[in-house]
Structure 1
Amino acid sequence: MDLAPTWDPQQYLRHAAHRTRPFRDLLARVPELPAAGRPARIADLGCGPGNVTALLTERWPDAHVTGLDSSPDMLKEAAGHAGPTPGGGHLDFAPADATDWTPETAYDLIVSNAALQWVPDHPSSLPGWIDSLRPGGTLAFQVPGNFTSPSHALLGELCETPRWRERLAGHGRRFVHILSAAGYLELLLAHGGCTVDAWETTYVQLLQGQDAVLDWVKGTALRPVLTALEGDPQAQQEFVEEYRDLLREAYPPGPQGTLFPFRRIFAVATRTDGPQ
């Protein structure tokens, strides 16, 4: 059985500005919440190091926001954001795994930022999460949609080479379960009882520094490989060097930095039926 990836919050945060932008774009499409006369109840599923969870308190200053994640390292980093918020709300964090998470209360907003791609069966959970919302509440998420781009295709191909196949087969091709924007829209509309807004955006990111794309994937897509080779530092280094050389050819740096197009898929579903 594959090990769950170990996470490095500091590596992940090295590209915080680029990683935060899709979340801000997602929140811009979330309608007003139904929490009239009371603080909104919000869950951030797969909150990571908590930096984007804290942005929820800017939009909803008096809300009770809970960030949920399965990584102890990420939750430890996120704890620095916890506590009362300036608008009179509260921000806290708790362990939870999106593979089997069931909301324990009615939420006004369930949001997930670049996390559900790690949950192969997540489409089957979406209807239940919508049903857990208060009427007028919203489920909003975005997932990467760049799994056929060179950064990810090369990773999958390298894992399947004779040198690495026995130890790493499948580690670079984990995301075929991601739906298209149209796929998420059709799924959510078929469930009924909600309005749905779905779209995709390709961000042409300009990354800085040497081997900038490698530095990016060290915080995300490369984590399962690094975890699988954790007990063998020499093998870890050899794999990373092979992968680095492939990325250098696929993403040559320019005079202003390295262009790294990154497609994201978004969906916002707002519940329109159900009892109070």
Structure 2
Amino acid sequence: MTMPSWNADRYLRHADHRLRPFTDLIARVPDLPARPDGGPPRVVDLGCGPGNATALLAERWPTAHVTGHDTSPEMLDRARRHAGPTPGGGRIDFALGDLRSWEPAEPCELIVSNAALHWVPDHAGLFDRWTRHLVPGGVLAFQVPGNFEAPSHRLLRELTDTPRWRTRLAGLPTRRDAVLPAVVYLDRLTALGCAADVWETTYAQLLTGEDPVLDWMRGTALRPVLTALDDAPEDREAFLADYRSSLRDAYPPGLHGTPFPFRRVFAVARKPADPV
């Protein structure tokens, strides 16, 4: 399967709505353990995208050395606008890297992944390796979209499975099992010995503009489809026309905008500290 191309400008068009789950996530992260050598905490953002969330990590932990990793050169080009020394004495940098194979140069106080794990099949199998890269008392925190049964995602799956598109778009990551139930994440993390805090939130978002749900989807879940149809502009527009029509029926605009409920699943897991 061809990896989707990413457009940072389009993704950031809904930056306020996309950032809110991240700010809610890091608000629940407890104090990080102090490094024995007194050095700055090491914070890693796996699947950092355009870097706007990574910058918030440096605001929350001003002295930290924060590194963002992503597989998309397009996203990293935008993210590097946030790179460099931070006002609190820390620094931010970015590197091309795949969270499936990521290995740190040194143990970390905090590993974060924001709206990225649903792109990785069997991502819960990575938790064991990641927690082994945490210092005692370190934290793994992530949030993932849990909207795969919503009309926006269900209609996308149904359209890609119609006779016209089934062969052309086979294997694209539009599956409904991309994210596990919250209780499964709780079980996986506690089985690793972590103290886990797992919860769900549905955001009642109000989107504005023409076909705002389509615009939202073009920044994320629709990217693999658009990439697969890049070489056939007429087919691409035909697909978008059908999908647009379905979304208009499913999400009618209201007086002040288009209501777009979006469920998210969160987890904050703390590794046990060394025994005294």
Structure 1 residue ranges without an equivalent (≥5) = none
Q: Which residue pairs with 1:223 in the alignment? A: 223
Preserved contact between residue 174 and residue 221 of structure 2 (Cα < 8 Å)? no
Q: Which residue pairs with 2:17 in the alignment? A: 18
Are 2:185 and 1:184 equivalent residues in the alignment? yes
Q: Which residue pairs with 2:100 in the alignment? A: 99
Are 2:68 and 1:39 equivalent residues in the alignment? no
Q: Which residue pairs with 1:244 in the alignment? A: 244
| Aligned counterparts of 2:82 and 2:192: Cα–Cα separation in 1 | 36
| One-letter code aligned to 2:195 | T
- Give TM-score, length-normalised by structure 1: 0.96
| Aligned counterparts of 1:46 and 1:161: Cα–Cα separation in 2 | 31
Q: CA deviation at 1:274?
A: 5.2
Q: Which residue pairs with 2:212 in the alignment? A: 212
> 1:99-121: per-residue Cα shift (whole Å, max 9, x none)?
22223320000001000110112
Change (3 A) 1:275 1:41: farther
Deviating runs (4+, > 6 A) in structure 1? none
- SS of match in other structure, 2:43: strand
Change (3 A) 1:80 1:247: same
Are 2:53 and 1:52 equivalent residues in the alignment? yes
Query: Percentage identity across aligned positions?
Result: 61
Q: Which residue pairs with 2:137 in the alignment? A: 136
Are 2:253 and 1:253 equivalent residues in the alignment? yes
| One-letter code aligned to 1:228 | A
Q: Which residue pairs with 2:235 in the alignment? A: 235
| Aligned counterparts of 1:53 and 1:125: Cα–Cα separation in 2 | 21
Q: Which residue pairs with 1:146 in the alignment? A: 147
- SS of match in other structure, 1:153: helix
| One-letter code aligned to 1:200 | E
| Aligned counterparts of 1:119 and 1:79: Cα–Cα separation in 2 | 24
Q: Which residue pairs with 2:72 in the alignment? A: 71
- Give TM-score, length-normalised by structure 2: 0.96
| One-letter code aligned to 1:147 | F
> 1:36-60: per-residue Cα shift (whole Å, max 9, x none)?
5321100000000000100011111
Structure 2 residue ranges without an equivalent (≥5) = none
> 1:76-97: per-residue Cα shift (whole Å, max 9, x none)?
0101110000111000000111
Q: Which residue pairs with 2:200 in the alignment? A: 200
Count of residue pairs the alignment pairs up: 274
| Aligned counterparts of 1:86 and 1:73: Cα–Cα separation in 2 | 26
Q: Which residue pairs with 1:3 in the alignment? A: 2
CA-based RMSD: 1.4
| One-letter code aligned to 1:250 | A
Preserved contact between residue 33 and residue 108 of structure 1 (Cα < 8 Å)? yes
